């Protein structure tokens, strides 16, 4: 009897489930998967980004009914920043999804070679492998609006006042996560150090030491570098800032990459970390029309997970910007191929012909929120540059004009590394660009 009962319940659940699932196929939708991480050691940084991404998509669905009449179905697949789950999610979402958003340099490295075979673009805004900028080699990968190498070069040019030769004889330390992501800027910094005559030292922080960096900061105190750059993520950012405060390291010498400029990470150090700066390709603009729309259509309607006080966070608004890149690519593809339901290959074309200029940003109600950039067949990053933001004890403020990376200094290395990658993965398909 008991068995019969449970069988009945089970089959009833199935039947109800099937009924509920059926209507979902009725209208045109674009499936936008995201390999999110709202769990695990990096959830603190992941959640605001994913919330921003989702809220922008929800806002478009609510306000405009999607993009040109096609609803956007934003679907998260939880990875917990775990590369193993990354494979699972990639395989799961590759059927219907029109793009891959891997959200981890480790997962990007795994899926990058597969993108050629599965014909689906990887969108890795501001992360991933810097040589992905070379669109001829990395046909299916995009990392707009600035790569890590752009970021490293801009940081150097910012601290040197625009002239890298003035760094001669100075010492620059990089405190980085000992992980593919954190090691990303090292080849460029080493090359520039040799060229301009400054000393460069890399100080790795292991994944297990993220919250206890006393050894690393002892080394920094001993070496007394002129500047410390940080490539940190998750718990490492807060750990580094707190340790810098504790060792009384002058904040004006401490600058981070865009993933190290997170309000949530700074909160624990608070006012003591005043003066910490980070480079960022987006800045929060709380009175932007798009923010008002998100408030109206999403937050006030109870469809957002973001607490009201976090809507001004750099990372939340970066999530919005990232969704905007993708939606603009979809729009470009829709216009070019004259179809509403674009497929993965058409979205790739859209990402390659993305033109986000000042006028466009104004039109979207996002003026000043993100650097303008334009991608092309051979340029998959766009190299829009970035701003410097400074922590005032409670929030980040923009403190510089828009910086631009000196591309001439980066391109040779980029081309060499892209070629190295293609050779190691031969046969690697290349793309012809006009």
Partner 1 sequence: MLYRTAGQFKTSYAADHALFPVRQDAWLLGVIMVLAWVVFPLAASDFTFQALLIPVLIYSLAALGLNILTGYAGQLSLGTGAFMGVGAYACYKIMTIFPGLNLAVAIGLSGFFSAAVGVAFGLPSLRIKGFYLAIATLAAQFFLVWLFEKWSWLYNDSASGAIQVPNLSMFGLGVAGPTATSITQYYFVLAVVSLVTIAAINITRGRIGRMWKAVRDMDIAAELVGINLMKAKLSAFAVSSYIVGVAGALFVFLWRGAAEPNLFDIPLSFRVLFIAIIGGLGSVLGNYLGAILIVALPVILNIVPEALGIPVSSSVVEHLNVMTIGGLIIMFLIVEPHGLARFWAMIREKMIIWPFPH
Write out the residues near partner 1 by the rule CB under 8 A: 13-14, 16-21, 24, 36, 38-39, 75-78, 80, 83-84, 87-88, 91-92, 94-95, 105-106, 109-110, 113-114, 116-117, 129, 178-180, 183-184, 186-187, 206-207, 417, 424-427
Nearer to partner 1, 63 or 183 (CB): 183
CB of 39 to partner 1, least distance (A): 5
**Minimum Å distance from CB 113 to partner 1?**
4
CA dist., res. 106 & res. 295, Å (int):
34
| Minimum CB distance to partner 1 smaller for 197 or for 206 | 206
Would you say 78 and 85 are in contact if contact means Cβ atoms under 8 Å apart?
A: yes
Give the E-state strand segments of 220-293 in sequence order. 227-231, 254-256, 277-280
Neighbours of 283 (CB within 10 A): 22
Shortest distance, position 134 Cβ to partner 1, whole Å = 15
- Closest approach of Cβ 290 to partner 1, in Å? 24
CB 63 within 8 A of CB 365: no
**Residues 6+ away with beta carbon under 8 Å from 172:** 156, 159, 189, 193, 198, 199, 200, 201, 225, 226, 227, 228, 229
CA distance 395 to 298: 24
What does the alpha-carbon distance between residue 362 and residue 372 come to, in Å, rounded to a whole number? 11
Q: State the minimum distance, in angstroms, from the CB of residue 26 to partner 1.
A: 13
CB-wise, 377 or 413, nearer to partner 1? 413
Whichever of 35 and 332 has its CB closer to partner 1, that residue is: 35
Longest dimension (CA), the chain: 85
Contacts of 397 (CB under 8 A, 6+ apart): 389, 390
Q: Give 232 or 384: the residue with its C-beta nearer to partner 1.
A: 232
Nearest approach, Cβ of residue 181 and partner 1 (Å): 8
Give CA–CA dist 329/346, Å, rounded: 9
What DSSP string runs through 112-161?
HHHHHHHT--EE-TT-S-GGGGBTTT-TTEE--S--HHHHHHHHHHHHTT
Contact in structure between 210 and 156 (CB atoms under 8 Å) = no
Question: Minimum distance from CB of 245 to partner 1 (Å)?
Answer: 28
Which residue, 180 or 275, is less far from partner 1 as judged by CB?
Answer: 180
CB of 248 to partner 1, least distance (A): 30
Between 10 and 218, whose beta carbon lies closer to partner 1? 10
CB of residue 364 to partner 1, shortest distance in Å: 27
Pairwise CA distance, residues 425 & 61, whole Å: 41
Task: Tell me whether residue 43 or residue 272 sits nearer to partner 1 (CB atom).
Answer: 43
Looking at the Cβ atoms of 23 and 161, the one nearer to partner 1 is 23
């Amino acid at each position: 009897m008991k068995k019969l009962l449970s069988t009945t319940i089970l089959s009833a659940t199935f039947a109800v489930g099937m009924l509920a699932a059926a209507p979902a196929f009725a209208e045109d939708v674009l499936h936008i998967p995201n390999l999110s991480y709202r769990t695990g050691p990096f959830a603190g940084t992941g959640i605001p980004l994913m919330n921003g991404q989702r809220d922008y998509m929800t806002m478009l669905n609510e306000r405009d009914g999607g993009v040109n009449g096609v609803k956007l179905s934003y679907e998260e697949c939880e990875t917990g920043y775990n590369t193993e789950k990354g494979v699972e999610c990639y395989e799961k979402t590759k059927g219907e999804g029109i793009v891959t958003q891997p959200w981890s340099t480790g997962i990007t490295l795994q899926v990058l070679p597969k993108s050629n075979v599965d014909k689906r673009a990887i969108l890795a805004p501001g992360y991933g492998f810097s040589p992905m900028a070379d669109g001829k080699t990395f046909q299916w990968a995009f990392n707009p609006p600035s790569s890590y190498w752009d970021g490293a070069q801009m940081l150097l040019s910012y601290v040197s006042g625009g002239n890298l030769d003035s760094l001669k004889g100075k010492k620059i330390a990089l405190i980085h996560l000992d992980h593919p992501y954190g090691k990303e800027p090292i080849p460029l910094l080493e090359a520039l150090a040799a060229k301009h005559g400054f000393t460069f030292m890399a100080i790795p922080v292991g994944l297990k030491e993220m919250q206890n960096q006393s050894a690393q900061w002892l080394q920094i105190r001993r070496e007394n570098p002129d500047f410390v750059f940080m490539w940190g993520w998750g718990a490492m950012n807060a750990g580094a800032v707190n340790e810098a405060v504790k060792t009384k390291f002058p904040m004006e010498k401490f600058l981070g990459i865009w993933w190290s400029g997170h309000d949530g990470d700074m909160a624990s150090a608070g006012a003591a970390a005043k003066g910490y700066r980070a480079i960022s390709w987006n800045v929060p603009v709380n009175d932007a029309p798009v923010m008002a729309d998100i408030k109206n259509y999403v937050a006030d309607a109870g469809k957002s997970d973001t607490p009201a006080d976090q809507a001004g966070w750099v990372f939340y608004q970066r999530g919005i910007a990232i969704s905007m890149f993708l939606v603009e690519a979809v729009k470009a593809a829709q216009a070019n191929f004259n179809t509403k339901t674009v497929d993965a290959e058409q979205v790739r074309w859209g990402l390659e012909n993305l033109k986000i200029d000042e006028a466009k940003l104004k039109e979207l109600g996002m003026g000043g929120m993100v650097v303008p950039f334009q991608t092309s067949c051979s340029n998959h990053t766009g190299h829009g540059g970035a701003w410097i933001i400074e922590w005032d004890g409670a929030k980040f403020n923009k403190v510089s004009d828009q910086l631009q990376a000196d591309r001439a200094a980066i391109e040779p290395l980029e081309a060499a590394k892209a070629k190295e990658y293609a050779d190691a993965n031969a046969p690697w398909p290349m793309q012809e660009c006009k």
